[in-house]
Amino acid sequence: MGFMANLLTLRSIPSIAFVSVVFLALYKYIIYPLFLSPLSKLPNAHPTAPISPAWILYCRWSGRENRSIQAAHAKYGPVVRLGPNEISVNSVEDGIRPVYSGGFEKHAWYPNVFSNYSKRNMFAMMESKPHSNRKRMLSNIYAKSTLSNSTHLHALSEILLYERFFPIFQNLAANSTPVDMFDLLNGVTMDFITGYLFGLSASTNFMQNPDKRHRCMEMFHHRGTNLFWPQELPKFTRFLGRLGIHMQNQKTLRMANREIEQFNIDMCDAADRALESNKQDIEKSAADEPVVYAQLKTAMSKQRIKESGELTEKDFADQRLQIASELLDHLAAGHETSAIALTYTMWELSQRPALQSKLRAELLTLSPNLVLSHPSDPSHPPSPSSSSSSPARPIPSFKDLDTLPLLHAILYETLRLHPSIPGPQPRVTPPSGTSLGGYAAIPGGVRVSAQPYSLHRCENVFPEPEKWLPERWMEAPDFERSEKKGIEEDGDEEAGEKVSIREKEKYFWAFGSGGRMCVGSNFAIHEMKLVLASVYSNYTTTIVDDTGIEQGDGYTTGPVGGKLVLKFDAVV
């Protein structure tokens, strides 16, 4: 009997082990996340969110992440659970402020795809300390005070507008030729940002070279395709790769990366040569100064010398790639986001002729202004109106452009409704845990994010958020007025709840917030205002083809159709 009992006991051990494993699995993956986890108190964006990330991963893979998260916030409030270890916030005081100004580190989502040359740039840095060190090297050259007084930016803007931009539009207006503005604006913004990064002589000329522009934009498109796999499932993607299964077209991806990285480092090297020659040539144009490149190289060299005493050949080679990685990130973000915002601004204005007239009236108050004497005659070099006493090629100051309330309101409302980066900005809760949105004891290591798409649609701040209403940003001197329920072009309005401009600005998140907000936001705003002022001082725009103008759903996204065809007519 004893032998049989022992035998039965031995036979039951596997069963006990199996039951134990099943119970532990049920506890870890079902019972704990559903009922016992601190996150179990949060509303779920989807019934399966506590036990599986499958729902939010599917939303990201299928291109409906932003809308799905927004629908969850609209239904459940400012904090929602997206997965077993992921939440989204959609408030300021107990949401984006503690997360983005409270030292939460970046998620691995960033370096997974935003590094270049196998080097992490500022945007891809997860930890705060290296990010702060890099930002100190760069923030001054993007500061509003620096840009306002920059002889380089003034000289660069003058050449880009009068030698490239205006001649194109004179021809378009003279021949009544429709043009794809999304395509052209990518060239305009690329020329501006590379001119500031590398100096005019080392930068692109995409406005006048459409073939080069199209090739470069094609490579950027390939480079940004199917980022879901390496970004959201990096280990799984690498495992499949070892098995010979690739979720991205490897040949196309390698070609795109190789071309883009070579394109960028060629400009870095040209800027370096220009920097050396500028030391010998005091007659060089101010526009040729490689402002950002020079600042970054000097700051990096000083830091390395401080750390190691002297620079070796290996240090120089590594520094070259570090600089190239940083500036490729500025170049990529600096051209694409501004082109998207300008495209949607011109699309909205093209539907409103009366608003174009009001904007032009405001632009005429600039001194000097940007009105051309022959806006539709390409036989005349672009020059100011004959009635103007302006310089030969006038450029309004940064400060003067900033004082135009309607121009500012039009741009801000576009950035609210059509943010170029509408998607989530993931962070990780600190090891000590945190409280968000009234929910205490949120543990460390949780992925948490906010997204402009949702913050810009908070109805208590932006009534009728799906409507493009620039008047939201045109406040009375005391910064408070009645938020309009809708203004038609005849001026009819219906008063609604008062919302202060300061409150709106808290929720305005087109450039992020906190220590990691977009370092180039001042440059981008100035560039976009200057381009809009140049166009609408001289031309009216009408839509020829806006098929596919609806904005895609993703992290950085423009029109799903990839185009906006407009017609330009000179103002008489």
Quickly list DSSP for 272-286.
HHHHHHHHH-TTS-G
8 Å CB contact between 322 and 122: no
8 Å CB contact between 38 and 443: yes
Report residue 213 as tokens: 């522009």
Q: Round to whole Å and give the CA distance between 360 and 572.
A: 12
Q: Is the dihedral of CA 192, 193, 199, 202 positive or negative?
A: negative
Q: Round to whole Å and give the CA distance between 236 and 12.
A: 37
Q: Round to whole Å and give the CA distance between 351 and 542.
A: 7
Q: Round to whole Å and give the CA distance between 288 and 203.
A: 9
SS3 (DSSP) at 116: strand
Report residue 437 as tokens: 């949105």
Give the residue from 428, 427, 415 showing the smallest Cα distance to 509: 415
Report residue 58 as tokens: 């599917």
Q: Round to whole Å and give the CA distance between 14 and 280.
A: 82
Tokens 């601004």 correspond to 345
Burial of 198 (0-12, 13-18, 19+ CB in 10 A): buried
Give the residue from 101, 97, 60, 94 showing the smallest Cα distance to 77: 94
Q: End-to-end distance of the chain based on CA atoms, in angstroms?
A: 111
Longest dimension (CA), the chain: 117
Quickly list DSSP for 171-235.
HHHHHT--EEHHHHHHHHHHHHHHHHHH-GGGS--TTT-HHHHHHHHHHHHHHTTTTHHHHH-HH
Tokens 């440059």 correspond to 523
- H/E stretch holding 253 reads helix 250-280
242: number of Cβ within 10 Å: 7
CA triplet 419, 423, 426: central angle to 5 degrees?
135
518 is in an annotated binding site: yes
- H/E stretch holding 342 reads helix 313-350
Amino acid identity, position 313: E
CA triplet 377, 178, 384: central angle to 5 degrees?
30
Q: Round to whole Å and give the CA distance between 410 and 354.
A: 13
Annotated binding site: 518
Annotated binding site for heme: 518
